[in-house]
Amino acid sequence: MSKTAKVSKQVDEKPTILITNDDGVTAPGIAALIEVAKQYGRVVVVAPDAPQSGMGHAITIGKPLRLNHVNLFGDVEAYQCSGTPVDCVKIAVDKVLHKKPDFCFSGINHGSNSSINVIYSGTMSAAMEAAIEGIPAVGFSYEDYSFDGDFSLAQQVANEVIHKMISNQIPQKALYNVNIPKIGLKKFKGIKACRQANAKWNENFVERLDPTGKKYFWLTGEFQNRDKGKDTDVWALTHGYASLVPIQYDLTHHDLLSKIKL
Amino acid sequence: MSKTAKVSKQVDEKPTILITNDDGVTAPGIAALIEVAKQYGRVVVVAPDAPQSGMGHAITIGKPLRLNHVNLFGDVEAYQCSGTPVDCVKIAVDKVLHKKPDFCFSGINHGSNSSINVIYSGTMSAAMEAAIEGIPAVGFSYEDYSFDGDFSLAQQVANEVIHKMISNQIPQKALYNVNIPKIGLKKFKGIKACRQANAKWNENFVERLDPTGKKYFWLTGEFQNRDKGKDTDVWALTHGYASLVPIQYDLTHHDLLSKIKL
């Protein structure tokens, strides 16, 4: 094959793009992401059939999964799955696509997944599962928790990141955590590559009594940023930028490893 | 206070040790860990009321939690919680101990959590949640999935690691993933500090039909180690060692971050 023929083949062959999320297949954020991604290739959606926020990297063990076709996004092939976001990626590869997609985009999440939230987020864990499979992946999250938020800035950022990733302007062999600030388009300063801020949640369980007088507890908490750095995702989001954090799934603390004597 | 008085106070005050797991409060592995840990301080148990394997870093959002006292471990204070392993750590700090424990030990898990399993494991995520709170934490896992396995080697390793951690012979400000091989005591070569092996699961969903003829799927898979290194946890476990991997919760891929141009 001549070089020219090879190039035109690459241009003709549109990539297969898997889309998922953790807010569920009916969340407006996934529709917003599909709208952007379908410009770049064949989009296939496999997303949870119910909200799965905070599911982290959970997988379903001990009970089976359901997978059903849904007709929600016009001509885009879509399925809802009874499992977690990570299950969705696994079943999409094995039972829907029967191959690895070229890219996996997760979101757009309703609410930020910056800093430590990356660990609790089903949206980010779905993207991480794709990365473990060797699929270039990005999780997108928008700082607005409401379901009737304005996704136009989030879509603009997703479009820029997806375009750069597909055209290989940013490394493809990676997983990115992209968060979009809730600000007006005019105040937006651009996308900034950052590190994960060292932040945590301070828990404060709220106690209630059921009708029989027995206690139960609601998990609530307050976000506490312990990190004063200007190179963090939290800093970027509070200063008019969208943040892009490259993420790894090798959890080894290599610096500490070299110091351990047993 | 004189230096002598301060030292003797430290010796007198036994540490508070939180114990949890993901196999549930009735699993033999947690009883084996309690037996070891109670030599070193005041042990308090808060563990799931049902198996929570593969729950990763999931937290419970959208429904409340139950927390009930159980009398399973003699004079050791213990509670079962309806939430995930991470929920157990959060509620233990806020509603049981009303302070951070001095240490958190999770396990002993029935089944290995080496390499990529660290990401799916509720046992390891509970330990990681403690680490995020600033609590020195270790997750222990034994390569035997059965519930009637022989925990004597796992207990010996847990004892050595807990002793070293409490006496500050290994750094306390960290989270460790400790896996114990299923081998005879005589063949055991010791504990080895390792990095996480680059391994993954190849999914293979098993399809079944329900009585109405509708499909459902069971998640199954095959573990695939892609890593030939002799410094990994998988290598250690297959060569007679227990593995100890220091783990971080900053997921930033710092090498890649320095290369991203946006």
For B61-78, how does the pLDDT look when each residue is reduced to its tens digit (9 = 90+)?
A: 989 999 999 999 999 999
Token pair in block for residue A90? 């696994």
pLDDT digits (tens, 9 = 90+) for B33-61: 999 999 999 999 999 999 999 999 999 99
> Residue A6's pLDDT is what?
43
Q: What is the DSSP letter of B173?
A: S
State whether A171 and B132 contact (CB < 8 Å).
no
Give chain A positions within 8 Å (CB) of B66. Answer: 214-217
Evaluate if residue B3 carries a pLDDT over 90. Answer: no
Look at residue B207 and tell me if it is in a domain.
no
Confidence of residue B114 (pLDDT cuts 50, 70, 90): very high
Look at residue B205 and tell me if it is in a domain.
no
CA distance B93 to chain A (A): 9
Residues B247 and B128 sit within 8 Å (Cβ to Cβ): yes
State whether A66 and B195 contact (CB < 8 Å).
no
Range 179-218 of A in CB contact (< 8 A) with B: 190-196, 198, 200, 203-205, 207-208, 214-218
Alpha-carbon dihedral A194, A199, A201, A202, rounded to 10 degrees = -160
Look at residue B115 and tell me if it is in a domain.
yes
Look at residue A219 and tell me if it is in a domain.
no
- Among A87, A204, A253, whose Cβ lies nearest the Cβ of B247? A253
The Cα–Cα gap between B262 and A163 comes to 12
Evaluate if residue B168 carries a pLDDT over 90. Answer: no
Give chain A positions within 8 Å (CB) of B54. Answer: 58-61
> Residue A100's pLDDT is what?
97
Tell me the β-bridge partners of A216. Answer: A208
The Cα–Cα gap between B18 and B101 comes to 6
Q: How many alpha carbons lie under 13 Å from residue B137 in its C-beta half-sphere?
A: 29
CA distance A217 to chain B (A): 5
Q: Nearest to residue A122, comparing CAs of A30, A48, A28?
A: A48
Evaluate if residue B142 carries a pLDDT over 70. Answer: yes
Q: What is the DSSP letter of B186?
A: G
State whether A58 and B61 contact (CB < 8 Å).
no
The Cα–Cα gap between B130 and B21 comes to 12
> Residue B12's pLDDT is what?
54
Q: Nearest to residue A251, comparing CAs of A138, A123, A118?
A: A118
Q: What is the DSSP letter of B232?
A: B
The Cα–Cα gap between B40 and B25 comes to 20
> Residue B126's pLDDT is what?
98
Which one of B256, B258, B259, B261 would you mutate to disrupt binding with A, by most A Cβ within 10 Å of its Cβ? B256
DSSP chain A: --HHHHHHHHHHSPPEEEEE-SS-TT-HHHHHHHHHHTTTSEEEEEEESS--TT-TT----SS-B-EEEE--STTSEEEEESS-HHHHHHHIIIIISSS--SEEEEEEEES---TTHHHH-HHHHHHHHHHHTT--EEEEEES---TT---HHHHHHHHHHHHHHHTTSS-SSSEEEEEE-SS-GGG--EEEE-BPP-EEEEE-PEEEE-TTS-EEEE--EEEEE----TTBHHHHHHTTEEEEEEE-S--B-HHHHTT---
Give chain B positions within 8 Å (CB) of A116. Answer: 132, 249
Look at residue A123 and tell me if it is in a domain.
yes
> Residue A12's pLDDT is what?
54
> Residue A58's pLDDT is what?
95
What CATH code is carried by the domain that includes residue A240? 3.40.1210.10
Output the pTM of the full model.
0.93
Residue type, B28: P
Q: Could you tell me how far CA B1 lies from the centroid of its own chain?
A: 38
Token pair in block for residue A175? 């997983």
- Among B67, B203, B252, whose Cβ lies nearest the Cβ of A247? B252
Q: In what order do the strands lie in the sheet with B241-247?
A: B67-70, B77-81, B42-48, B16-20, B103-110, B137-142, B175-180, B241-247, B190-193
Number of domains in chain A: 1
The Cα–Cα gap between B151 and B144 comes to 9
> Residue A9's pLDDT is what?
42
Whole domain around residue A122: which residue ranges? 13-196+230-257
The Cα–Cα gap between B91 and B76 comes to 18
Average pLDDT over chain B reads 93
State whether B219 and A195 contact (CB < 8 Å).
no
In a structure prediction context, what are the per-residue pLDDT tens digits for chain A, which is 262 residues long?
Answer: 344 444 444 545 899 999 999 999 999 999 999 999 999 999 999 999 999 999 999 999 989 999 999 999 999 999 999 999 999 999 999 999 999 999 999 999 999 999 999 999 999 999 999 999 999 999 999 999 988 899 999 999 999 999 999 998 888 878 999 999 999 999 999 999 999 999 999 989 999 999 999 999 999 999 999 999 999 999 999 999 999 999 999 999 999 999 998 8
B55 touches chain A (CB under 8 A): yes
Which one of B203, B247, B258 would you mutate to disrupt binding with A, by most A Cβ within 10 Å of its Cβ? B203
State whether B116 and A95 contact (CB < 8 Å).
no
Look at residue A66 and tell me if it is in a domain.
yes
CA distance A2 to chain B (A): 32
Tell me the β-bridge partners of A243. Answer: A179, A192
Look at residue B98 and tell me if it is in a domain.
yes
pLDDT digits (tens, 9 = 90+) for B193-238: 999 999 999 989 999 999 999 999 999 999 999 999 999 999 999 9
Residues A186 and A192 sit within 8 Å (Cβ to Cβ): no
Look at residue B178 and tell me if it is in a domain.
yes
The Cα–Cα gap between A111 and A114 comes to 9
